Amino acid sequence: MQNKQSYLSELTKTVRDNYSRFFELNNSQVKQMPTFQLNLFIEKALVNNFPVIVQFNDQTPDTAGYLKQIAKGRFLITSADKRFHRLFSVSELQAIKKF
C-alpha cells in the first residue's frame, strides 16, 4: 500500500511540474480587489486625473493611462500617447493602482 501511495504522489508531482513548465503559469498575478475598493480608486483617479495601471480579469497585459467615465458603470482608459483606448466596466477589472 505504501508503494502505491509513494508512486502516485511522485507521479502527481511530476505531472504538476511538467504542466507548470509547459504552460509557463504566471504566479505573479495580483489578487482580485474588492468591488468597493475598485470603485474608490476609480473615483479618485477621475477626480484627481491620476494616471493609473489597470489589470483586467481576461489576462490581457496591464494597461496604463488616464480614465474617463463614459456612462454609469462604463469607463474608458486612454494611454498617455493616446494610441490605445479600451472600454470596460468595473466587473472586468482585477486590480487598479496609481501609476
> Which grid coordinates belong to 25?
503559469
Angle at 93 between CA 89 and CA 96, to 5 degrees: 115
**pLDDT tens digit string along 56-71?**
998 888 999 999 999 9
With a CB cutoff of 8 Å and minimum separation 6, the contacts of 33 are 41, 93, 94, 95, 96
What is the residue extent of each domain of the chain? Answer: 35-98
pLDDT tens across 8-60, in order? Answer: 778 788 877 777 666 665 556 668 999 999 999 999 999 999 999 999 998 88
Q: Which CATH class is domain 35-98?
A: mainly beta
